[in-house]
Structure 1
Amino acid sequence: MDEIDFDDIQHPVLQGILKYIESNVYLAEKSWSWTIPTNNDYAHAPWYTFETGNTEAYSELVTIGLVFFIIRHTEENSAIYKKAAALLEGVICKFSDSTTDFFTISSYCELVRKIEKYKLESRFDIKTVKERLPMAVNTYMERDPFKWDGCWCGRPSFFIKSPESVYYKGNEDSMSKELDWQLDKMTGRLTELNVWNVNANGWYWEHNNRGGEYPMESFISANCWEIIDAINNIRLFKNFGRMDFSC
């Protein structure tokens, strides 16, 4: 909804998100949890299995998303807004040269983008993050096309969304190769259902920490991923002039 600038706070979905946030459930001192106990009661991807100690694995990603929802849809003098601002300041301070996970680094790229989008630079000091991010991006960007298939890695598009990106300079060739790869994937590597094969990497839906197959869940997720990939790729192709939208 954020990406399409949908901001009708009276919409039931947005009201549901706000209700969840205001409940403070699974909100720790510094972040929202990456996984929650009830995940294990339903079919889920392995990385969403709840285990003691893994709730903060990618908490920055969850926290950044919810914080900007709050900032966009609540009053600045409200208690929840002030709490969100404090959490965001904590996430900003947490970034350091020791951040070595490409997924976390891409989350900070999104943090900077949203602070600039909503013109919050005077409220949140991101100078240090902006100075350190380019080196982190270049270090953990996976440029080898042979590693993109069947591997969860930091492809260029995790960090670069358009030619205007500050991370694009010096990575033009890598981004061009990924766009070619994505086009090939769209035209020649789809399953018979015309969706990306979400099980290509060998993972399976889990339930109560037991492996198993869940046809309905797999079908729903495959279609969900189809939509997500289609939207993300079309946006990339449009931004880089790989598709003609004139007609």
Structure 2
Amino acid sequence: MNKISKSKFKKTKTFITSKGRELELARFEFSFGNGSKENVMTQLKTYQNEDGGFGNGIEPDFWLPNSSPMATWAAGQILMEIGADANEPMVKSMISYLINTNDIETGMWNSVLPENNDYPHAPWWHWQEGVQENWMFNPSVELAAFLVHWSSEQSKAGEIGWISIGKAINHLMNKTEMDRHEINNYLQLIKIIKPNESTFNTKLQYSLNSVSKKIMVLAEQCADKDISTWTKGYKALPLDFIDNPKHPLCERFGPLVEQNLDLYVEQMSEEGIWDISWSWGSYPEEFEVARRYWKGILAVNRYKHLKAFGYLE
């Protein structure tokens, strides 16, 4: 095991401080220093709109200033990361936005909005008729989990959340393969909904245990197990699905988990960060800004993995 040295750690923080966003710096300090959740929320607030949703490029690959479900999902993940309380005004406002933008018939939120096309964006964030078919319950199933997590079962938010989750589970159980991002949304659902397992088992057609087994199979199937190809393009690696040594997928992936961690250590640059493995193919100036922001995001996320598996000195 090649651990990340304290000197490399300092370089990472220097990069995030000088070239990253204030949001990533706040997250980095919260997870690895003396930073507070209040500071993270202060930075998050700059991305929240009056309708309670988030936008303003919080997801660096699309720069739509208006609120969108996908940008709101990105913010919700950070609120989960810091353990934000349901009584926080930011959370209440976000829940209100999600209530107002859910399609009760499909159980989904629109993953891509037409307005995306009016601002710099990566090609996969481009809206066209029927695009929702490509996204399905990414990120809707996780947004629904947010509603249940931060609301009472009897509330309108809780009701919408459970209805959406029911539709998402029916979709999942009929799938034989799934995109890595949608898989991750379901993995997060399982983690978020665990305290409500008895309600899940009572309300829905399938037990949480059977749903967990199904998504584990899809995740194992989706991950690239050929180490020789891991550095060639945009691949789904074991650590894209695992966040701690006790995760049930660790046993399924076996030594691939440690090999993935070793790859992270090997790929770290002299600046203490990682570059992204994708490009936009358009908006070259804006892409370089997004790329720099993503380096900060990758640094925070990968350090969380490295810390959880004991790879920090």
One of 228, 247, 258 as aligned partner of 1:176: 258
Equivalent in the alignment of 2:128:
51
Q: Work out whether residues 163 and 240 of structure 1, in 8 Å CA contact, stay in contact via their aligned partners in 2.
A: yes
Q: Work out whether residues 104 and 160 of structure 2, in 8 Å CA contact, stay in contact via their aligned partners in 1.
A: no
**C-alpha distance after superposition, 1:139-181 (max 9, x if no partner):** 2211223323342221001122122111111423111111111
Equivalent in the alignment of 2:188:
110
> SS of 2:299's equivalent?
helix
Q: Work out whether residues 105 and 136 of structure 1, in 8 Å CA contact, stay in contact via their aligned partners in 2.
A: yes
For structure 1, the 5+ residue unaligned runs are: 205-210
One of 162, 173, 182 as aligned partner of 1:85: 162
Structure 2 residue 306 is matched with structure 1 residue 241:
no
Q: Work out whether residues 97 and 132 of structure 1, in 8 Å CA contact, stay in contact via their aligned partners in 2.
A: no
Equivalent in the alignment of 1:218:
288
State TM-score, norm by structure 2: 0.65
Which amino acid is the alignment partner of residue 158 of structure 1?
Answer: D
Q: Work out whether residues 225 and 237 of structure 2, in 8 Å CA contact, stay in contact via their aligned partners in 1.
A: yes
More helix by share: 2
Q: Work out whether residues 216 and 249 of structure 2, in 8 Å CA contact, stay in contact via their aligned partners in 1.
A: yes
What is the correspondence of 1:133-144 to structure 2 with a 5 Å cutoff?
133-144=215-226
Stretches of 4+ aligned residues off by more than 6 angstroms: none
Q: Work out whether residues 32 and 59 of structure 1, in 8 Å CA contact, stay in contact via their aligned partners in 2.
A: no
Residue 47 of structure 1 and its aligned partner are, at CA, apart by: 0.9
Q: Work out whether residues 238 and 257 of structure 2, in 8 Å CA contact, stay in contact via their aligned partners in 1.
A: yes
What is the correspondence of 1:127-166 to structure 2 with a 5 Å cutoff?
127-166=209-248
Structure 2 residue 215 is matched with structure 1 residue 120:
no
One of 231, 234, 246 as aligned partner of 2:300: 231
> SS of 2:198's equivalent?
coil
| Structure with more relative contact order (C-alpha pairs < 8 Å, separation 6 or more) | 2
Q: Work out whether residues 99 and 105 of structure 1, in 8 Å CA contact, stay in contact via their aligned partners in 2.
A: no
**C-alpha distance after superposition, 1:111-135 (max 9, x if no partner):** 212222xx11111132322232333
Which amino acid is the alignment partner of residue 91 of structure 1?
Answer: A
State TM-score, norm by structure 1: 0.81
Structure 2 residue 113 is matched with structure 1 residue 36:
yes
Which moved further from structure 2: 168-177 or 80-89? 168-177
Which moved further from structure 2: 69-78 or 172-181? 69-78
**Structure 1 residues 7, 150: closer, same or farther in 2, change over 3 A?**
farther
Q: How many Å separate the matches in 2 of 1:231 and 1:27?
A: 35
Q: Percent identity?
A: 21
**Structure 1 residues 121, 79: closer, same or farther in 2, change over 3 A?**
same
Which amino acid is the alignment partner of residue 193 of structure 2?
Answer: I
For structure 2, the 5+ residue unaligned runs are: 1-78, 201-206
Residue 25 of structure 1 and its aligned partner are, at CA, apart by: 6.2
Residue 8 of structure 1 and its aligned partner are, at CA, apart by: 5.7
CA RMSD of aligned residues (A): 2.4
> SS of 2:196's equivalent?
coil
> SS of 2:239's equivalent?
helix
Q: How many Å separate the matches in 2 of 1:92 and 1:140?
A: 18
Q: How many Å separate the matches in 2 of 1:130 and 1:10?
A: 30
